[in-house]
Amino acid sequence: MRLSAPVHFLKRRARLLSRRESIPLHQALDRVAASEGFDDWGLLVTKASPTTAADTMFARLMPGDLVLLGARPGHGKTLTSIELAVEAMRAGNRAVFFTLEYTLADVLDRFRAIGAEPAQFDGRFEFDNSDAISADYIVSRLGSAPRGTLVVIDYLQLLDQKRENPELMVQVRKLKSFARDIGLIMVFISQIDRSYDPSKKPFPNLADVRLPNPLDLALFDKAYFLNKGEIRFQAATQVRG
């Protein structure tokens, strides 16, 4: 069955409905699914999009990769990162979500938004929203993480907010070395500069990444940019311009 909009866009519609009518997100998702001709949201996800963008993205990721995932607010960065975590866990790996933005309840809501329950993954998902999150903290937490663990860092620019932390370039270099040494996949959610104008180009790119302080984006192995539920790949070795 053909959807009226991409799945990410339908999720956005459900979140707006949830806020507008003060109903739980899962109820809003089911209502959106019903409007698309499905009994519930889980059935929509399973039947309408058996192969998702996250499937394709995850298939391209390798242990040791640093991945940049960028978009303006409301275009599905967090949901996409969670979809990647789910793909990793379905493949038998662990997933860890570091955030200075969200609560555990927020993240669990987003699991349910894509028709997944963390409980089904037999303890392979970890959540951490410590105020101490930095490269040093992440390395200390993941020292014994098995190869193939997918790590989400929400978000890149927050690593740079505390003056006592090393410079962003230093932190990302440390995480890159660490990820390669033990075979982790690290996905960095990234803000996009407000100067980005979607009327002039359909997707942001490396030149639009918001960087209050210097960072060599060639440190990332892969970069993905989202707009209105669609995803575009850009080689992270391309220089900003």
pLDDT tens-digit readout, 83-112: 999 999 988 999 999 999 999 999 998 898
What's the confidence (pLDDT) of residue 49?
Answer: 56
Q: Shortest CA distance to 188 belongs to which of 166, 209, 214?
A: 209
What's the confidence (pLDDT) of residue 240?
Answer: 43
What's the confidence (pLDDT) of residue 239?
Answer: 42
What's the confidence (pLDDT) of residue 64?
Answer: 97
Instruction: Give CATH 3.40.50.300 domain extents, the chain.
Output: 53-234
Q: Shortest CA distance to 208 belongs to which of 218, 198, 222?
A: 198
Whether 41 contacts 32, CB under 8 Å: yes
What's the confidence (pLDDT) of residue 54?
Answer: 81
List, for the chain, all residue ranges whose pLDDT scores fall below the cut of 70.
Answer: 1-2, 8, 46-52, 237-241
Please list, residue by residue across 137-165, b when 16 or more beta carbons sit within 10 angstroms of its beta carbon and e when fewer do: bbbebbeebeebbbbbbbbbbbbbeeeeb
The fold for domain 53-234 equals: Rossmann fold (3.40.50)
What's the confidence (pLDDT) of residue 17?
Answer: 93
- pTM beyond 0.95: no
